[in-house]
Structure 1
């Protein structure tokens, strides 16, 4: 999955927080206002109303308010699903999370981690359900994502978060591990580094490859 460059401005970001909307499989107006990205039932990625730049460092007017007291430096992604779901006893509701959504989430988080140089860890790539435990920021009984309807054996915020991080790490193995090209390098070294980028980037797709080359040369 290649996120359009216009959706991912070059600003510092600290973490990625994943949610579900507790609604239908389609992104509604309230969803678009709350998150930077949404993933609909068929796995389609949708951009929210707010630019990631508005959540960089101190939040600015119009930012995506996706997580209580934890929006500064946080990218918010939400799966459009789980409307009518119940935590205890567990019931998926009429819009259970799909495997297609999860796979799209993993691919999106992997690309964002690469773009923003966010390391994969429980304090940097996590679900809303993990925020209170992992970051010590009080929330309001949020339990997204602590169940995976397509994988009933994965139960609890920690288990789901650990799976997310494992899957993202595996996905990032397919992203080119490029070496920054510093200003002032001799042309021979620049060519050598660009050759390495080209070789490693062929499998990642043209958009990702072009973006990485531009990023390393500017």
Structure 2
């Protein structure tokens, strides 16, 4: 039986809040305020992708893979680096905290082969199978980071949050129709 062994990080290429399409494609989406919305599918649905009932977030890489997305970046291109819906620092912090939480829950270690951006996943594919994915390659509040260094930056943050969560410094809670992390004093 396949296990959940990977986490792929995305941006939705939409507005700063999740729509129905986003919630069907990803297990969790983070809006611009850092609220976490559960997708239609549970991570465990991606243990078996042959039944068609899973989050289809990572072409040819969905089996055993949890899909997380920050909402935003509609209209973004690598050339102009412009969008009406930039990712916020709060979103990225929450994405990293959520990734750390899920990595602990499912026993996923933080390495480039197990926690990666969609861009990094696409780059590892054979040239003829690449789809030109650019998520997540740019953070407006850190414009000096190259596309190839964003994934490493995120994994460092995820590792930091992982240590804090293991030390019971952050707690994952449900608030109405969304989730959030709170700092425990």
- Give the gaps of 5 or more residues in structure 1: 1-10, 177-199, 208-218
Contact 1:68 1:139 in 2 (8 A): no
Relative to total residues, which structure has the larger helix share, 1 or 2? 1
Q: 2:12 aligns with which of 18, 21, 24?
A: 21
SS in 1 for 2:164: coil
Partner of 1:175, secondary structure, is: helix
Deviation at 1:164, TM superposition (A): 0.6
1:160 and 1:64 map into 2 onto residues whose CA distance is 24
Which blocks of at least 5 consecutive residues in structure 2 are unaligned?
174-185
Normalised to the residue count of structure 1, the TM-score between the two structures is: 0.73
- Looking at secondary structure, tell me which structure has more strand per residue: 2
Deviations 1:39-63 (A, max 9, x none): 0111110011112111015543320
TM-score in terms of structure 2 length? 0.85
Determine if the alignment matches structure 1 residue 132 to structure 2 residue 130. Answer: no
SS at the partner of 2:165? coil
Higher relative CO (Cα under 8 Å, sequence separation at least 6) belongs to 2
For 1:93-172, list aligned pairs within 5 A. 93-134=83-124, 138-156=129-147, 158-172=148-162
| Bigger radius of gyration among the two | 1
Whether 1:53 aligns to 2:26 is no
